Structures are given as structure tokens and as C-alpha cells.
A and B are shown apart, each in its own frame.
Chain A
Amino acid sequence: MIKVEHLSKHYGKLHAVDGISFEVNEGENLILLGTSGCGKTTTLKMLNRLIEPTSGKIFINGRNIVEQQPEELRRGIGYVLQDTGLFPHYTVAENIAIVPNLLKWDKKRIADRTFELVEKLNLSRSHLKLYPAQLSGGQQQRVGLARALVADPSVLLMDEPFGALDPVTRFNIRQEFKDLDELKRKTIIMVTHDVQEAFELGDRICLMDKGRIVQAGTPVELLFKPANDFVTGFLKEQRLLLEFKAVTLNDIWDLLPNIKTRSSKNAINCNCTVWETLKIITSQKENAVAATNPINKETKTITFTQLMSTFNQYQNSEAV
């Protein structure tokens, strides 16, 4: 659990971060989103004391971070950077072993944990002997993630972790990232200025501007209950796609026509977003898919046209 109270960082007259407060619950994934220079990185670095705040308080798992040794604090927080920050003179295995060595783990424990992560992150053991320069950008990013996760910290800070990757690699890694069980239990704060990424990965999003938080909320809240014109403007360009990705079948369940279903065998889950459902429908011969609501066990058949019209209905009802 992370709690931030009235946090500020001033560089002379520049208020890089200007009195922000927010909370991240355990296991939650919070995204700091905003334009370049709005103070995302500064905020993140104050959390592991790479930057000391001008004022304000930060509590991680209930403890004020200034009461802890910076080194000890940092060893308990995973940190992933845009350009990985892998040690070029260490092999992949040595890079992953940095924090365990600082924590004085024995060799066997380090090796076991390394192999475990290598498997989970779709790396191969043969990579372990290589140096970072011998890996592709995507592989480097995976190693960077492994290095941050190795000691199983409860908190993970990520600063544009996929920022340096090409769009295809980026998309794939993001998918893996979502499915990674290691991450489900963690409290994560991730910085990005990619709106798509924010909506795909974030449980909640903090939209920042000029050192302040403009709006904090779930993707759906940001889309359909924008706090002001800045929020609307920020999301405008990719609005449709974002909505498809933000809205789940659950959200529109009641609006969907109740069509009798042949079978609930291959039915999809209601947590699927509209975007995911559309993708499945278009890949099916009959242009339709069955979905089951786990709460009332109701199953509905959804066609492409029905889904689109229901979604339109939902948009109109939400955007008041």
C-alpha cells in the first residue's frame, strides 16, 4: 500500500511536482499519465528516495519512507527504467543477481529464482551467460523486469518500461505483462505518456499536468466522467479505441438484448472488454459469440451489430 500526502518538489521557481496526494491499494496498478515534463518521473523517484521531496509525506506499507535507510528501502522496491539501466559489464545472470547479492542470498537460492523468472519471462537459460549488448531490446526489457522482480518486492515502480521498444514488440510485451502472475499480487506504479498503454494496464489512472493531478480514477471514469476539458482533450484523439478498451461486457450487460443461447460451452467471460469481444466475434464464422455473466450465470449471444449498437447506447447514457 502506498500513500502520498501533499507531495511537492520545487526546483527554484519551477514546481516540478506541486502538492499531489494519492493512494495505491495493495495489488493495484496505478498509472501516472501525462505530457512530457508534467512531473511523472519526479514523483516516481521520490517514492524510492532517488529524489528528496521539498515537502509532503510518503508512506509505503504504513511506514514513512524517511524513517528508513534509503538503501534498505530501495532493496524492497522494484524499479524498471525506460532504457533498462542494465549493467553492460555484467552478464544477464549477474544483472539479475544484483539485489539478491545485496541481500546476501546464497548461490543456490539465487540460481533457482533466476531460472524461475527466466521461464516466466519467456527468456531462455542460454541468455544468462550473455551480456546485455548481445540481447534484443525486448529481451533487455525482460531482463530489466526480472532484475526488478527477483527479490519479490511488494512494490514495483516502472518509468516508461516499454518506451524504447518498437510498436510490435511493445504490444507483445504488454500482453505478457498483463498475464504475468508475479505482477498480480504487486502494488505497481507505472509512468507512461502512452494513453493506450495506460488504459490497457491501469486499474486506475492519475492524469497529471504541470505538477498537479488533474484527475484520478478508473479508465471508465476518465472517459465518461472527465473532470474538465483538459481530460477530455487529452483523450480525444484515441477516444473510440479507448472506450472499446475501457468498457467491459459487465458495464453494458443490462443493455444487451437477451437472446436465447444455443450453448454456454464456449462462452467468454464478462470481464472481457468490448475491444476484445469485437476481436473474437470477427474471428468467428457466424459473427457471434456467447458470453456468460458469472454473477447470475446468465448467458447471452452477442453479434457484431448488436454489440455496436448497445455500446453506442451506453456511450450516450454515460456522457451526460
Chain B
Amino acid sequence: MNEGQQSLFSFMRQEQDKLISQTLTHIGLTFISLIIAVAIGLPLGILIANKRKLSGTVLGIAGVFQTIPSIALLGFLIPVLGIGAKPAIFALLLYALLPIIRNTYTGIIEVNPAIKEAAKAMGMGYWQILFQVDIPLAMPVILAGIRTATVINVGVATLASLIAAGGLGEFIFGGISLNNTNMILAGAIPAALLAIIFDFLLSQVQHLNIKRVRDVTMALPVILLIFAGFYLIPSAYAGKLTAGFTPEFMGRRDGDLGLRDKYGLKIHTVVISDAVMYKAAYEKHLDVISGYSTDGRLKAYDLVVLQDDKGIFPPYYAAPIVSAEALKKFPQLESTLNMLSGHITDSIMTELNYRVDYLHQSPEKVAHDFLVDKGLFKPATEATGETVRIGSKIFGEQYILAEMYTMLIRGYTNYNVSTKTGLGGTKICFEALTNNQIDLYPEYTGTGLLVMLQADKSITDTLTDKDKVYNYVKQQFKTKYNIEWLKPIGFNNAYALMMRKKQANELNIQTISDLKRYLESK
């Protein structure tokens, strides 16, 4: 946290254009989905207020939609709606539906029956009663529902960036994976402000007197439409091929920047979460993606790595990083963790990942089988000591490594182990370590060099092989963060560009230079 407040403002000023377009996209996403949710939710609410028998079912289903975790929902939607605006709007719409249906329903059934009866007795028909009595009288409650839905949507819309639909989530998730606090805040603060502002505005509308509510009811659709218009649908599909890169890849020198500098590659690119990226490639919504060379999903989704013929993706070691305090506190820890060193080569790691990602074996089983195979496995001893806390990021390889370390510590020491797997991104893992929430997690020297230390080009140019990088990172982490890099595990980790095997063959693309050539051909 060496960036002060000053630099947050300078960051925002520097990224002003992006910030404005992301904010507008965010507002647009929120309101497009809101309009559709109102268009569906209002009639549904009215329907179930008339046919009460249906109310349980409809509200139940809308309630279930809300409990589906957003990232899972986005994953489900790829085969049907692809990536970009459509699935994002659809997901947002599902989340907004419940408050709107429920409040419409409640608002209407709570209209004083004597008033409805009077309306009927005076000779008003069904639609006249609906539009002149039910809806106006239910309007404050309906508005409260729309207000809730708006605030939910502003929040959930940050997730749109996971599926290449843009919005303020681009900064937030980019900042998380690039260890850039200013970037996170540049996304989070406007998002929070939007929520507060819209909540306030709608609360004002809600508390207007009866007469004014009528005018506002007329004006509301217009206002919603104007806001929705902010969404200039980002073209998730355009050009010959589409690339989907993770926020981290976008911001790293050995990522997108390198592709542009060294290869001069110009490809239509969207930002997407690595959780859905592989699937999107498999479903043909993306053609080129950024991944790790050892990732099991490579094989699982029948993808092929494009040769890095100009060498912009240097290989890096993977090794556990441990806080120095933990090493002091647990004297046997270092030697236990180092037992794994040298046992896992690139091909072994790819194979292990494949078993988790494609064969869907549990990381625990995969880790256990491997340790038994190498003669390293020992049944857990009785744990009498203190607890070692192991962290991991959210993908198969990290889960497997965390399981292996757990088993080794349980077998060879009397320490207790707790695992905190699934720490969302590099920044979250690293912050957990520096803030003494975990004691260790597996990390890659390239990430240490470019993301944590953010080393200058002048320094990286001198680090010509992976051992030099390892030594530099080890020494810097020790002095800067009091964190130790233990022995490298053995396998190399490097970024890679991937394509579907079939498409790569058809287009005759084997290297990144082939890709460039293809893109430039007419």
C-alpha cells in the first residue's frame, strides 16, 4: 500500500476516458436490465396478485434466481447467450426480478378492498380499475421495489466485466489481479457513489405526495430509457477473430503489452474472467485466450498453445511463499514444504491439472495419489501443535498444491493445518499473506516480479533467465515484505496464447506470428 491518496486522483485523471466510458457502460447495463425487469416483473406481479395461487410458485422461482451465485450463472449462460452484453443483462435482469415482482404483488394486494369495490360498483372495468386504482395506489411500494432492484443491479453490474460486458468491474477486477489499489478504488468508488445517488433519487421519488407520484410514474420510463441509452453495447463480437484476455494479462508487461510491442499483434480484445474464459473459447465465443501453459483446461477443452516464437512469455518458477514469522514459529515447516521440490515437472503438473479440470477428480484425491506414487505420503499424525494456514487462488493447480502441502505437514509434523482455498486473485492472496491471515501459498516468480514488485523494464532486462528472476524476487521479498520464497517446485509457469485445436488447424496457425499473419491477411 505505497500508493497514497494523491496518486488515486492522478490515476483517475490519467485513466479519465476509460473511467467515464466504464461508468456510462455501468449505468447503461444497470438500467437496460432494470427496464426489462420492470417490463417483465410488473405484469407478473399484477398477474399473481389476481391469481394468488400462482404467487408462491412465481415468487419462489424468482427467489431461486437470486440465490444463484453470479459467476456460476454467467458460466451457465455462455452456451446459450455467449459472452458480452447479452448474458450480463440477462443475469442482472434475473437478480432484479424478485424485488420488482414481490413489491408489485404486495402493493396491489394491499390496496384497500373497499376502494376496489367502490371502483367496481361505479362501473369501472377490469383495466380501468387496474390502471386507475391498483397501480397508482401500489406505486409507492412498486417504486420501493424498483429502488431495491436498482441498488442490487449497480452492485451486480460490476460482475459484467467478468464476461466481457465492461463496466466499472473492469477496474475493480483488474486492480485485484494486478495488485493495484488505485485501480480497484477507481472502480469501486464510482460504483458505490452510483448506488448511493440512485438510491437517494429514488427515495425522493417514493416520498413525493400522491399527486406528484402520478407525474413521476409518467416520467419514469423516459428517465430509465435515457440512462439505458448510456450503454453503447461494447462489441464483444467483431473482426476476424476475438481474443479474451484476463484483466491480469491485459496489464502485464509479459502479457498484452508484450504482444503489441514485440509482435505488433492487433486483435479485437475483450476483458474476461479466467473462470469463464476457457469455456467461452470452447463454446466458440472467443478464438484466442490467454492462459497458463500448465492449465488442465487446455486439454479439457481441446485447446492448443500457440508457439511463442519471439519469446515474450518467459517461463517462471512456481514455489511456496511463506511469511518469515511463520517459518520461525514452525521450525519444521520449511523442510516439509521443500520435500515437494523437484518432483513435479511441466508434464506432470499438466497431467495433474487435467485430472482435476477435465476428469473432475477432487484435488484431494489427485494430491493423495501423487504423493503415494512418489513414496512421499505418510498418514496424518495426531495434531498437537499450532495451526499452519495455507492459502490458494481459485484454480485447479493451486488447489492441488495446497492439498499436497496439507498432507505433507499432517504426515511429517504435529502441526495442525487449515486451508483457505479460493482466495479470488493475486492481490487477495498476497494481502492475506502480508496481513497475517494465512502463512503461505504457492506463487509464481513472474507474478512476484511484475505484479507485486512491479519491476522496471531496466531491471527485467537484466534478468535473463528464470534463476536470476528467482534470486531477485527472493531477495526483494525478504527485504520489502519479510516473506520467504522456498525452493522452486520444479515446473515452469508461463503465459500462453491458446486457440481451439480444430480452428488452429483449419487456419494453419501454429505460432503467434502465424496468428498475426492471418489477422493481417485479407
Contact = CB atoms under 8 A, between A and B. Distances in A.
A72 B121 CA distance: 10
Residue of A81, A85, A131 most packed against chain B (CB within 10 A)? A85
Contacts of B214: 89
A88 B137 contact: yes
Given A89-B136, A89-B214, A131-B210, A71 B117 contact: no
Given A88-B137, A89-B136, A89-B137, A72 B123 contact: yes
Interface residues of A, number: 22
A85 B121 CA distance: 10
A55 to B, nearest CB: 23
A85 B117 CA distance: 8
Contacts of B121: 48, 50, 74, 77, 79, 81, 85
A88 B122 contact: no
B120 A74 contact: yes
Contacts of A73: 123
A81 B122 contact: no
B275 interface: no
B124 interface: yes
Nearest to A72: B123
B372 interface: no
Contact of A87 (B115, B120, B123): B115
Contacts, number: 61
A99 interface: yes
Given A88-B137, A89-B210, A89-B214, A75 B118 contact: no
Given A99-B123, A102-B123, A88 B210 contact: yes
B388 to A, nearest CB: 66
A299 B475 CA distance: 128
Interface in B297-335: none
Contacts of A89: 136-137, 210-211, 213-214
Contacts of A81: 114, 117-118, 121
B375 interface: no
A83 B124 contact: no
Contact of B123 (A74, A84, A85): A74
A85 B124 contact: no
Interface string A74-115: 110101010111111100000000110010000000000000
A83 B122 CA distance: 15
A79 B118 contact: yes
A194 B278 CA distance: 79
Q: Interface on chain B toward A: helix, strand, loop, or mixed SS?
A: helix
Interface in A17-66: 48, 50
B247 to A, nearest CB: 50
Contacts of A77: 121
Contacts of B125: 71
Contacts of A85: 112, 114-115, 117-119, 121
A102 B210 contact: no
Interface in B117-148: 117-125, 128, 132-133, 136-137
A157 to B, nearest CB: 8
Nearest to B126: A71
A141 to B, nearest CB: 13
Contacts of B133: 87
Interface in B87-130: 112, 114-115, 117-125, 128
Contacts of B213: 89
B202 to A, nearest CB: 19
Contact of B124 (A86, A88, A102, A147): A102
Contacts of B123: 71-75, 99, 102
Contacts of A147: 122
Nearest to B116: A85
A87 B119 contact: yes
Contacts of B210: 88-89, 131
A21 to B, nearest CB: 24
B231 to A, nearest CB: 34
Contacts of A74: 120-123
B123 to A, nearest CB: 4
A98 B125 CA distance: 12
B136 A83 contact: no
A102 B114 contact: no
A114 to B, nearest CB: 15
B110 to A, nearest CB: 13
Contacts of A75: 122-123
Interface string A204-230: 000000000000000000000000000
Contacts of B114: 81, 83-85
Nearest to B114: A85
Nearest to B113: A85
B115 A88 contact: yes
Nearest to A147: B122
A230 B268 CA distance: 92
Contact of B122 (A84, A98, A131): A98
Contacts of B119: 85, 87, 98
Given A88-B137, A89-B210, A131-B210, A79 B122 contact: yes
Contacts of A86: 115, 118
Nearest to B120: A50
A89 B117 CA distance: 16
Nearest to B213: A89
A147 B118 CA distance: 10
Contacts of A50: 117, 120-121
A77 B128 CA distance: 18
B207 to A, nearest CB: 15
Q: Which 4 pairs between the two chains have the least Cβ-Cβ distance?
A: A85-B118, A75-B123, A74-B123, A79-B121
Interface of A: 48, 50, 71-75, 77, 79, 81, 83-89, 98-99, 102, 131, 147
16 contacts: A71-B124, A71-B125, A74-B120, A79-B121, A79-B122, A81-B117, A84-B114, A84-B118, A85-B115, A85-B118, A85-B121, A87-B133, A98-B124, A99-B123, A131-B211, A147-B122
Given A85-B112, A85-B121, A86-B118, 16 more contacts: A50-B120, A71-B123, A71-B124, A71-B125, A74-B122, A79-B118, A85-B115, A86-B115, A87-B132, A87-B133, A88-B115, A88-B137, A98-B122, A99-B123, A102-B124, A131-B210
